[in-house]
Homo-oligomer: A and B are copies of this chain.
């Protein structure tokens, strides 16, 4: 078990100085061709690679970006990571991930672990708990220490930094419009509590679409699900809530849900009540995940392009890292959604 070889060892073996070895390997003209070849041959033989940590220390940059997301077992976030990793790798960066697990404390701890020199910048999506508490001091502190942050999807206006978001409002408005165009008269929405910014925006899109069609919103058609319900065990009670929604409104003929799962479960309930999809009732979800694609009937959905978001976020961050001198200016990139039509709509 031979440890990795260093410049010093090469220098000793070849009876030259460390500087000479370093220069020879970087093909400096300062060094004679003879020596260069000798050193390079030796280095190749022993498979020399510069130690990354030493380089990071010297250059004061790590070529690593930190990603903090609320959850990884989630199609959308996984796609984003894939996008980030793709461009990071292409541009010579590594990616180090931290999971906040939707918890404020873990988010803070994770950021502290990474902000002490391990990375050059952050890409992150805010934990639900953080959004609820509205405590953003850790972001501001990080930024004020000169470490750039790019936020995606779950962002917040109070923080001044680059952002990559999707047009939640437009996406949901389009979806609901589609339902209305398809002849739905009673469109319900299944959404989340308002503190999740995307839930709020998507609800707003729903309202605007109704408005465009001169229809008035009916609070009986709006189901705001408590997020705890998503935690696996509570799926049954979610099902119950949806069933009650149907009971309150026997005429529902269209449902827009702010995520895949809500839509799938709603379809299940509808089927149980004997409704035919899409003839009696039509469905549109949000986020084009594996469920939408393979459900029966397959679900029409608003495509969110997670991978593209990741790519853009990484490009944004790395651009900033590599042009520090430039004057500060922050952008917000909006990724367009698209409606992917499948069997759950006419």
Contact = CB atoms under 8 A, between A and B. Distances in A.
Nearest to A50: B116
A57 B64 contact: no
B94 A118 contact: yes
B85 A97 contact: yes
Interface stretch (A74-82, A127-135, A172-180, A206-214): A74-82
B4 A116 contact: yes
A132 to B, nearest CB: 22
A62 interface: yes
A96 B94 contact: yes
A264 interface: yes
A72 interface: yes
A138 to B, nearest CB: 11
A79 B85 contact: no
Specify how many copies of this chain sit in the oligomer.
2
A340 interface: no
Contacts of A115: 49
Given A1-B145, A2-B144, A53 B57 contact: yes
Contact of A99 (B1, B54, B82, B112): B82
Given A73-B75, A78-B73, A96-B94, A53 B62 contact: yes
A1 B94 contact: no
A94 B114 contact: yes
Interface stretch (A14-22, A181-189, A247-255, A289-297): A289-297
A298 to B, nearest CB: 10
A3 B64 CA distance: 18
18 contacts: A2-B146, A4-B116, A4-B117, A49-B115, A49-B116, A53-B118, A72-B82, A85-B97, A85-B98, A85-B99, A86-B99, A89-B98, A89-B110, A94-B113, A95-B98, A268-B296, A290-B290, A290-B291
Interface of A: 1-4, 47, 49-54, 56-57, 62, 64, 72-75, 78-79, 81-82, 85-86, 89, 94-99, 110, 112-118, 141, 144-146, 261, 264-265, 268, 271, 289-291, 294-296
**What 5 A-B pairs come out closest when comparing CB atoms?**
A51-B117, A52-B117, A96-B96, A49-B116, A53-B117
